[in-house]
Amino acid sequence: MYELYKGYIPTRNKAALKKFKNVELDRLEDVQNLEEYAGVLNDDTILVDVDDMEQSDILLNIVKSENLKCKVYATSRGKHFLFLNSLVQRCITGGGLACGIAKVDIKVGAQYEVLKYDGVLREVLYDTEDYEYLPNWMMPIKNSKVFSRMEDGDGRNTAIFKHVSTLMQVGISKADIIYAIKILNKYVFSEKLPDDEIAKLLRDERFAKPNFFKGEKFLHAEFSRWMRDNYSMCKINNDLYTYNGYCYTNDVREIKRQMIQEIPSLKDAQRTEVYKQLDLIVDDHAETEARYICFDNGIYDIVLETLMPFSPSYIVTNKVNADYYEKAYDPIVDKALLDFANGNDSIKMLLEEMIGYCLYRRNELRKAFILVGDKQNGKSTFLQMLNAFVGINNTVALDLAELGDRFKTAQLSGKLVCSGDDIEDNFISNLAIFKKLVTGNPVNAERKGQDPFDFSNYAKLIFSANNVPRMNDKTGAVMSRLILVPFTAHFEPGEEGFDLEIIDKLTTPSARSHLARVAMEGLKRVLKKRAFTTGAEVENTLREYVTANNSVLLFMQEEKPKIEHEPVSDVFSRYQLFCYANNIKPMSKINFSKQMKLNFGFVGTPKNIKGKGVRCFEKE
């Protein structure tokens, strides 16, 4: 059950007696015997404080009659209503609600609510214990008329007409406005207006757009402003986005399609003109927190573990190609994941966590993945399944070696997955951009014919390779960012269990819903542990690669040379010969010595041999 309060603090005369922002808070048992204390609102709690007994009684009646899931406390002058919150960002004093309730204060964020005053606990009038998000038709507004005191002859029709205009200006949808007005008429007015009068006030023409032609001249600036104000649009990373009913998209065709939906006769040149104007006048916005993940059937909040209706208030640009169901199960996908892992449960868990991490629009865990194994072991099939699940619009296919190209790097902006199947095994020398992409640090990129731009990557880098390419990694920074996933199974045509149509079965709606469920379960594990599941086989695979990737480590492992008391120049010459024999580019003498010190504790120490000064390796 969701906790409405993140903790508690002692108060006196409703004033806090200790700091409560960014500090550890008291538990309920710490304060419950005090004369006075308050609960500090949790991050996703909104407090609707109706500081008027009449208004609060009306709202309580609405809550009960509409079966809303919330908690209600009695106060000396009114009532407090507590809901979940995802849309309201600021506190409001002396405002109202879209449904016509007046004299409302709103508290969100780092605020508290007094729960015990003068030795008496506030009375709980209503509590469903399982709470819902504040409905859009109850959305707070900065001011509201006291509709409850209006009677016949007081201009109720005019008041509703103006109220509708206010709700339209703050961006509440037509459907929510209509519902809010019906609630207002049913519960707030002391005497209802006839239904036919309400219908006239809410007829389609009320929400109609103005004329954007003066004679034959198209008023593109006016239409652009109207589109901006009536469609949910924003700029992200210098790209223009519009809401398509599910998520935000920067598809120019979708934006122009919305123009045609309003004015079917618009010519291509006029649509282009409007698009350019929108690109100049639409405001920049940051994307909504990574906790919100858009599926085909709603927005999933991974913190509250709740699937919510689509809303333009969630600025999410990636819709996953699957419905999310808490109990979804597909036996074919479940078996396939275990087969990919060759029966290893910890690797199966890692694959599920990797899929879930792809949907999380942050890269704070600083990991990229390489699926490692010989041919016919399922690597390509796994990537095909992953890309179909995530959605073609959310993926880009690049080789690891291409990530340093500024034009290629630009393709990652706004994507969930960058997958490279069967990447080349050539030595990769420049990995500076790769390291920034994995950690989500800002990178500069460029699209051909456009200005360069900065973006913070959240696309997860997943590659497959028969042989992992050697990389220039003297400090170990790249190795710390890699997870090598061993694919050791073998799927050969003609063998028992081999299925030529397996990819079709792994990309059905049922299969994708199964992946959505295990992805969310895996992502929750990762976020809780702050680490991926890596068993002995995964760790050994990385350890072997670290050795193979470091020519000094490989030299020491293969040659097992005598080091102590030996001249540095002699050991280095033997190392060079080893590298040439194995077609490996040797390190410089300085870097060779650094690696010997870092990995084996040998340092070059001056010695006198037969009257000559010689540096020899000695233990530190």
Picking from 527, 543, 559, the residue at the C-terminal end of a domain is: 543
Determine, yes or no, domain membership for 389: yes
pTM, two decimal places = 0.70
pLDDT tens column, 354-363: 999 999 999 9
Higher pLDDT, 461 or 211: 461
Q: Is the pLDDT of residue 423 over 90?
A: no
Same domain, 456 and 511: yes
Burial of 44 (0-12, 13-18, 19+ CB in 10 A): buried
Same domain, 119 and 62: yes
Determine, yes or no, domain membership for 164: no
Determine, yes or no, domain membership for 357: yes
Picking from 240, 262, 281, the residue at the C-terminal end of a domain is: 281
Q: Is the pLDDT of residue 166 over 80?
A: yes
DSSP class per residue in 164-200: HHHHHHTT--HHHHHHHHHHIIIIISSSPPPHHHHHH
115-151 CB burial, b ≥16 within 10 A, e <16? bbbeeeebeebbeeeebebbbbbbbbbeebbbbbebe
Residue 523: which CATH number?
3.40.50.300
Same domain, 66 and 132: yes
Same domain, 420 and 537: yes
* Least confident range of 50-64, 314-328, 377-391, 403-417: 403-417
Q: How many domains in the chain? A: 4
Same domain, 402 and 421: yes
Same domain, 16 and 142: yes
Determine, yes or no, domain membership for 43: yes
Same domain, 124 and 33: yes
Q: Is the pLDDT of residue 215 over 90?
A: no
Task: Spell out the residues 6+ positions from residue 443 whose beta carbon is closer than 8 angstroms to its own.
Answer: 409, 433, 436, 437, 454, 455, 456, 457
Determine, yes or no, domain membership for 469: yes
Mean pLDDT, residues 398-412 = 89
Mean pLDDT, residues 400-407 = 86
Place of tokens 């085909």: 296
Which domain covers residue 245, as residue numbers?
Answer: 213-281
Higher pLDDT, 171 or 354: 354
Same domain, 533 and 387: yes
pLDDT value at position 430?
Answer: 81
pLDDT tens column, 235-265: 998 899 999 999 999 999 999 999 998 888 8
* 422 confidence band (pLDDT: 50, 70, 90): confident
Determine, yes or no, domain membership for 155: no
Q: Which amino acid is it at 300?
A: Y
Closest CA to 133 of 73, 83, 177, 63: 83
Determine, yes or no, domain membership for 512: yes
Burial of 391 (0-12, 13-18, 19+ CB in 10 A): middle
Q: Is the pLDDT of residue 457 over 90?
A: yes
Same domain, 236 and 116: no
Same domain, 477 and 421: yes
Measured distance CA(83)–CA(298) in Å, rounded: 20
Mean pLDDT of the chain: 91
Determine, yes or no, domain membership for 203: no
Closest CA to 414 of 162, 237, 164: 237
Residue 576: which CATH number?
1.10.10
- Most confidently modeled range among 59-63, 536-540, 578-582: 59-63
Same domain, 260 and 348: no
Same domain, 458 and 575: no
Picking from 526, 543, 560, the residue at the C-terminal end of a domain is: 543
Q: Residue 517: what are its φ and ψ, rounded to 5°?
A: -65, -50
Q: Is the pLDDT of residue 57 over 90?
A: yes
pLDDT tens column, 562-599: 998 889 999 999 999 999 998 888 888 998 998 898 88
